[in-house]
Copies of this chain bind each other. A is one copy, B any other.
Amino acid sequence: MKKLLITLRYDGYNYHGYQVQKNAVTVQEVFQNAVEKVFNKRLDVTGCSRTDSGVHANMYCVCIESDMDISNESVIMALNTYLPSDIAVYDCKEVDVDFHPRYSCKSKEYLYKLYNGKYPNPFLDRYAYWYRFPIDEKYLNEQAQAFLGTHDFAGFCSSKSDVEDTERTIYSFDVWREGDMVYFKVCGDGFLYNMVRIMVGSLLFVSQGKIKKDELYDVIKSCDRNRAGKTAPAKGLYLNKVNY
């Protein structure tokens, strides 16, 4: 029996997130079906994280255990044959039996893509949030540093969540522009439900003056969801990197 760590990318547009749900198509379900075709039996697929409906992944890690004698390269090729075009595997390697894609994870990085052009862009409609008002990305990058460190992020969490421990540590937060695109990249030890999208929405509140200069730290400390910004749309969000 060997444990395989498989890395994939997916366009989340057509999926209700990663985690299996009743009455909704999810990445996990589609992936499990492909695994079943390759390995000729139903195998447990353990993922590294939940992702919200519509959220994308540049890097998503899963583990399966199998006793089949098949090369890692063949696993990649075979899975890609059975996966639809919006999900693709690009790495597969053997790991220790006690490795866990979720609990062995040291940090995660999310990327948020915002299209800041004056008019809508058909090629980015599924892949970035169109926000046409002026953005001073240097100012936002400076203000975003308030997120760094260990905080109780209860105010940056969907009310639908029932997680008890809302303390998380943020290692870095960068905001920058490339042409009409504005990027938000955040790395932390873990994230609450909708947390990155509320962080981005709060920075847009900073951009609009609804959260004042240097006020973001107080907004975090208040643990008040009503003081944070709106949840930014899912389609701009990418799970970008999982660090083990």
Using a CB–CB distance below 8 Å, which chain A residues touch chain B?
9-11, 56, 76, 80, 85-90, 118-123, 125, 127
Q: Please state the number of chain copies in the assembly.
A: 2
Cβ-defined contact, A125 with B85, below 8 A? yes
CA distance A80 to B122 in the complex (A): 11
On chain B, the residues within 8 Å of A88 by CB distance are 119-122
Cβ-defined contact, A9 with B80, below 8 A? no
Give the dominant DSSP class at A's interface. mixed
Cβ-defined contact, B76 with A122, below 8 A? no
Cβ-defined contact, B11 with A122, below 8 A? yes
CA distance A85 to B123 in the complex (A): 9
Of B56, B89, B120, which one neighbours A123 at CB under 8 angstroms? B56
**A125-B11 in contact given A80-B119, A80-B120, A85-B120 (Cβ < 8 Å):** yes
CA distance A119 to B90 in the complex (A): 6
Which single residue of chain B is at the shortest CB-CB distance from A118?
B90
On chain B, the residues within 8 Å of A85 by CB distance are 120, 122, 125
Closest 10 pairs (CB-CB, A-B): A11-B122, A85-B125, A88-B120, A90-B119, A86-B122, A88-B122, A9-B122, A10-B122, A11-B123, A88-B119
Residue among A56, A120, A125 with max Cβ neighbours from chain B (10 Å) = A120
Min Cβ gap A240→B in Å is 12
CA distance A19 to B120 in the complex (A): 23
CA distance A90 to B122 in the complex (A): 11
On chain B, the residues within 8 Å of A123 by CB distance are 9, 11, 56, 127
7 contacts between A and B (CB under 8 A): A9-B121, A9-B122, A56-B123, A80-B119, A90-B118, A90-B119, A123-B127
